[in-house]
A and B are shown apart, each in its own frame.
Chain A
Amino acid sequence: MSSRRDALRKIFNSAMIAGSGGLVWGTVASSAAKSPLALRPPGALVDDKFVQACIKCGKCVVACPYDTLMLAEVTEDKCLGTPFFEPRKIPCYLCTNYPCIKACPSGALLIDNIQQESEPANIENARMGLAVVHKESCIAFSGIQCDVCYRACPLMGKAIVLVKEKNEFTGKHANLKPVVNSDYCTGCGICEKVCIVEKAAIFILPVDLVTGKTGDHYVNSWEKNDEKRIENRETLQRSTDEDVESAIEYLNSDNELFEE
Chain B
Amino acid sequence: MIIIKRHRYLIARRVVQIGFLVIFAGSNYAGWSILKGNYSSGTVLDAIPLSDPYAVLQILFSGFLAGNDLLFGALIILIIYGFFFGRGFCSWICPLNIISDSAIAVSKRLKIEPSFKMSVKTRYVIMLLGLVLSALLGVSAFEIVSPVAILHRGVIFGIGFGWTIILALFLFDVALVKNGWCGHLCPLGAFYSLISSYALLNVKHDSDNCTNCNRCFGVCHEPQVLDIIGKQSGVIKSGECTNCARCIEVCDDDALKFSITNRLLKKN
Q: Mark A residues whose CB is within 8 Å of B.
A: 14, 18, 21-22, 25-26, 28-30, 32-33, 48-49, 51-53, 55-59, 61-63, 70-71, 73-76, 79-81, 103-107
Which of these, B43, B55, B62, contacts A52 with CB under 8 Å?
A: B62
A62-B28, A62-B36, A104-B67 as given contacts; A32 in contact with B158, CB under 8 Å = no
Q: How many A-B residue pairs have CB under 8 A?
A: 139
Which of these, A33, A49, A106, contacts B144 with CB under 8 Å?
A: A33
Report Cα–Cα, A55/B158, bound state, in Å.
17
Report Cα–Cα, A18/B10, bound state, in Å.
35
Provide the B36-75 mask, 1 if CB < 8 A to any CB of A, else 0.
1110111100000101100110010011111101100100
Q: Does B140 contact A (CB under 8 A)?
A: yes
Contacts of B37 in A (CB 8 A): 57-59, 62, 105
Which of these, A61, A73, A81, contacts B28 with CB under 8 Å?
A: A61
When C-beta atoms are compared, the residue in chain A nearest to B28 turns out to be A62
Asked if residues B59 and A18 are in contact (CB atoms below 8 Å), the reply is no
Asked if residues A74 and B64 are in contact (CB atoms below 8 Å), the reply is no
Asked if residues B41 and A51 are in contact (CB atoms below 8 Å), the reply is no
Interface size on B, residues (CB 8 A): 52
When C-beta atoms are compared, the residue in chain A nearest to B63 turns out to be A52
Contacts of A76 in B (CB 8 A): 160
A56-B143, A56-B149 as given contacts; A105 in contact with B41, CB under 8 Å = yes
Asked if residues A59 and B41 are in contact (CB atoms below 8 Å), the reply is yes
Report Cα–Cα, A14/B125, bound state, in Å.
9
Asked if residues B55 and A55 are in contact (CB atoms below 8 Å), the reply is yes
When C-beta atoms are compared, the residue in chain A nearest to B69 turns out to be A105
Report Cα–Cα, A55/B50, bound state, in Å.
12
Closest 5 CB pairs of A and B: A73-B160, A105-B69, A57-B41, A107-B67, A57-B37
Contacts of B165 in A (CB 8 A): 74
